[in-house]
């Protein structure tokens, strides 16, 4: 039972600005969410019902899981110092 990954435009733009070695690692982490949307090390975000965070080096990937339709929405990809600003 694989989930479908959908990346919001804001997250896609942010991912394009990340330097290449980090970007490859982040893309691998995002792809792995299709098989396991709640991997070990993921953290449920306070104040949101289905929002989670995973780490990839100094970067964070924020995403929402919709179990009824098997979709993982990538909300934001950013450096750890900036990821929670404006949420």
Q: By the 8 A CB rule, do 16 and 46 touch? A: no
Tell me what pLDDT residue 76 has: 95
Beta bridge pairs of residue 6: 73
Q: By the 8 A CB rule, do 70 and 1 touch? A: yes
Q: By the 8 A CB rule, do 61 and 30 touch? A: yes
Strand 4-7 to 71-79 pairing:
parallel
> All domains of the chain, ordered by start, with CATH?
4-79 (3.30.2310.20)
Could you tell me which residues come within 8 angstroms of residue 49 by beta carbon, excluding any fewer than 6 positions away?
Answer: none
Q: For the chain, 87 residues long, give each residue's pLDDT as a single digit of tens.
A: 799 999 999 999 999 999 999 999 999 999 999 999 999 999 999 988 899 999 999 999 999 999 999 999 999 999 999 988 877
Tell me what pLDDT residue 87 has: 73
């Amino acid at each position: 039972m694989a989930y479908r990954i959908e990346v919001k435009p804001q997250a896609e733009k942010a991912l394009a600005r990340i330097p290449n070695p980090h970007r490859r690692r982040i893309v691998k982490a995002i792809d792995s969410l299709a098989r396991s949307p709640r991997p070990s090390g993921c953290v449920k975000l306070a104040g949101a019902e289905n929002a989670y965070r995973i780490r990839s080096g100094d970067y964070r990937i924020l995403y929402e899981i919709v179990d009824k339709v098997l979709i993982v929405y990538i909300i934001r990809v950013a450096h750890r110092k900036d990821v929670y600003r404006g949420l």
